[in-house]
Amino acid sequence: MRGYVPAYEVKSPETLTEALSILQAQPGKWKPLAGGTDLMVLLESGVLENRNLLNLQGLKELTGISVSPAEITIGALSTFRQILEHDLLKTEFPLLAAAARSIGAIAIQNRATIGGNIANASPAADSPPALIAHDAVIELVSSTGSRRLSYAEFHQGYKKTQLATDELIRAIILPRTQADTGSNDFFFYRKVGTRKAQAISKICFAGRFHPCSPGNLRLVFGSVAPTVLRCIQTEAIIQGGGLDLKTIQKAKDSLTRELSPIDDIRSTAEYRLRVSLNLLEDFLILARQKQSHVELGS
């Protein structure tokens, strides 16, 4: 079954103000359309339920990557190719660069936007674990103003977010405070799928560790819960016990309790849990090696 294109209405506002006015006037009616890499698949399959699409392409207010001493701001319409080609993002936020590299084929990376990847709210999305590990902030905008919140608070459940019907994602903000830690940071990003490329993740993991600053530890998993999951309880065990083998085993036991993966068409709960435990162990062993190297050099 294929979608019947004449059955859909598309509006293409010329400014962000115009787009927000449309959303405010008819809340819930218009589905924002960014890169379209997800929505067009649904349209082609004949299962795109919302028949009113608000085309955001061309809104300059949502484009561009800007840098200040305190933060890097990524416009919601920035593509993953643009993220990959930004030298400072690759240097200071390597988890996001790794996530961008793992998304689809080059043609998809040229089209897919970070705002669309987030708004789609799929627990299997590649960028959310990296964004949470990097302590990202999301900026939402409406006709009445804008607001910022921690990206970790944005996803509330399966396909549920804090985005109101009259709001759009304007930007993702990455704080540059972690850049001050320098080369001692250890970052770890892994996506496990049926293939090495062009596959939806079965498990996605982003880890961040700094040997001299335990509070910088982040353990974030995708595709193992209704939404992307930061494993705070497991982080606390590692921060309290270090990186010895006994603590690593305690961390794995804790992760078993924190994760609640499901069986679905892509994988089984048993496989997801087993691979997640393996990824955690790999990350912690490599982080311990990094810590030893730093201590020897100090």
What pTM was estimated for this model as a whole?
A: 0.92
Query: Of the candidates 44, 185, 61, 171, which has an alpha carbon nearest to the alpha carbon of residue 114?
Result: 171
At the second CATH level, the architecture of 64-176 is 2-Layer Sandwich (3.30)
> How many Cβ atoms are within 10 Å of 81's Cβ, its own excluded?
18
- CA distance readout (Å), 57 to 14, 34, 48: 9, 6, 19
Domain chopping of the chain, boundaries: 5-53, 64-176, 187-297
- CA distance readout (Å), 256 to 87, 127, 138, 274: 37, 23, 30, 9
Domain at 187-297, CATH from 3.10.20.30, 3.30.390.50, 3.40.50.10860, 2.40.170.20: 3.30.390.50
Find the angle CA(214)-CA(220)-CA(222) to the nearest 5 degrees: 175
Find the angle CA(290)-CA(296)-CA(297) to the nearest 5 degrees: 90
Q: End-to-end CA distance of the chain, in Å?
A: 64
Tokens for 221?
């998993």
Fold match between 64-176 and 187-297? no
> Across the strands, what pairs with 172?
74, 138
Find the angle CA(223)-CA(112)-CA(16) to the nearest 5 degrees: 115
Q: In this predicted model, what pLDDT tens digit does every residue of 173-218 receive, in sequence order?
A: 999 975 544 567 899 999 998 776 677 889 999 999 987 776 789 9
Q: In this predicted model, what pLDDT tens digit does every residue of 37-80 receive, in sequence order?
A: 777 777 777 777 888 899 999 899 999 999 999 999 999 999 99
